[in-house]
Chains A and B, each alone.
Chain A
Amino acid sequence: MAIKQIKRKPLTFAEKTYLPQIASGLKITLKNIFKPAITLQYPDERPQIPEGYRGVPTLVKDPNGREKCVSCQLCEFVCPSKAIRITPGELDNEDVNAHVEKSPEEFEINMLRCIYCGYCEEVCPEEAIWLQQEFSVSGYTREDLIYQKDKLYELGGTLPDDHCKWDKKRAAEEDGNTH
């Protein structure tokens, strides 16, 4: 295909002097001076976190204060960066939550390895691990950044539970209907 030459309009005299263009540029910058700054002064002002944001993974408790994790270790298996390590533990027969049978004895998330992919949240059958809004992770040592169970629960807090499946299971058992 032949090259098509596009005819450009020749510059007018005013345009050749550049002065009108400079003046219009100055007008734009002058307008900007009187606009409010868009700076977010970070540690003092925090950004609005959108819904569905994938922040730091946290462990949550149900409204009754029971830790939801049953240490099935699915998140540990699915974690692509191998950031999660769980040591499963049995629950005592005397425990209020004995019917849940298991809970994690230790639950570590290495925040230096975590890539915030959210697979753990997606795979969890108990809805026990959530990537919440916290995004700023800092510490003075590597050990500081391996979050332990208490830290994870502190970050996670309590989330509403729509299913209460373990309560239903106990109610069914008490009715004599084990399954």
Chain B
Amino acid sequence: MTMEVTDIVWVIVKAAMVAIALLSFSNLAVLAERKVSSWIQGRVGPNRTTLPLLGAIPILGTGLTRMGLFQPVADGLKLLLKEDPVPDHVNKFYFFLAPVASMIPAITIVVVLPFGQIIADGVASPLVLADLDIGILFIFAVSSLGVYGMILAGWASNSKYPFLGGIRSSAQMISYELSMGLSILPVFMWANAPGAETGLNLFSLVQHQQLVWGVIFMPFSALLFLISIFAETNRLPFDMPESESELVAGFNTEYGSFKFGLFFAAEYAHIIVGSGVFTVLFLGGWHPLPVYSSAISLPEGSVGTLLSIGIFLVKTFLVVFFFMWIRWTLPRFRYDQIMKLGWTMMLPLALVNLVLYAIILALMTPVTH
């Protein structure tokens, strides 16, 4: 297969579109976080930032201002224009590398994440940048790289609080990656039961969930996976690397301006991507109903494609909302509690879950000798 130049350009354009969408979503997620936190705390949240002409339009402009939709612009500009301090005691190379290293994995995972489907002539094909056969392996491989950003930041900052944050984040990542991997094995065992070989491809997994969403068939796996992605994305109650009440700002203490902005955007990009992965694995991707019904199915053509993207995004954003909701509900764990939870609870439970579903799936499979 030879690739034409136009093909390459088209791939690049698609990739840029997806990356821009992800980054804009992560900016909006920052705003959403501020709004959700303020609603939960009985406050109003950002409602003052406005643009000169647009904000003056009677209902539209004032409404957008009240919703704080111009706030991400102001935040971004502020982070861009601030002084960018680089302390003398840091290791310059890794200090500059760290924010980039934490952003790259988040954007890279999106490459294999199917976010919609195109139905043509009764055959559904995925809307995805790269339809890898080993999609989930790729996600695991790349998502574990995300921790390098924090470790590098903690180490290169050459200062005690960032260092502690970096150490904590690496220990936490290792602890929860195990239960994360184990918790989704049953899903793929289910998807690869005899008669339904889907491999490790994410699109086939979503199509497999047309009958029933993963979260309904294996809620326990979903719960374990959800807890693990909380830990992997360093969200409260697992925000050990940052834990602002103990470690100043954790791994990003020495960072300011745009480099801090990159860390910040990366955190939210990770959350969105994590939510997307959860949607694909357990919430049936773009399938509108938890259980299959022949009455409601996505139509063919562009309407169906747009609907599938819309449903996928709505589900993803609901999971993102859940992330924020949890953050403003629960206090932070102590570090030893996190380690204890990870090693003595999550890991054994994930193993039990795996064995249990292996037995259930074996019983469900008709014996064919």
Contact = CB atoms under 8 A, between A and B. Distances in A.
Contacts of B43: 37-39
B38 A37 contact: yes
B8 interface: no
Interface string B41-58: 111100000000000000
B329 interface: yes
A33 interface: yes
Interface stretch (A22-30, A73-81, A107-115): A22-30
B292 interface: no
Contacts, number: 33
Contacts of A28: 329
Interface string B316-355: 0000000001101110000000000000000000000000
Interface size class of B (residues with CB under 8 A): 10 to 19
A53 to B, nearest CB: 25
A41 interface: yes
Contacts of A29: 40, 325, 328-329
A26 B38 contact: no
Contacts of A177: none
Contacts of A39: 42-44
What does DSSP make chain A's interface, helix, strand, loop or mixed? helix
A38 B38 CA distance: 10
Q: Report, as a range, how many residues of chain A touch the other chain.
A: 10 to 19
Contacts of A33: 36, 39-40
Given A32-B39, A33-B36, A33-B39, A22 B329 contact: yes
Interface in A55-89: none
Given A26-B325, A29-B325, A37 B330 contact: no
Interface of B: 36, 38-44, 325-326, 328-330
10 contacts: A22-B329, A22-B330, A26-B329, A32-B41, A37-B39, A37-B43, A37-B44, A38-B42, A38-B43, A39-B42
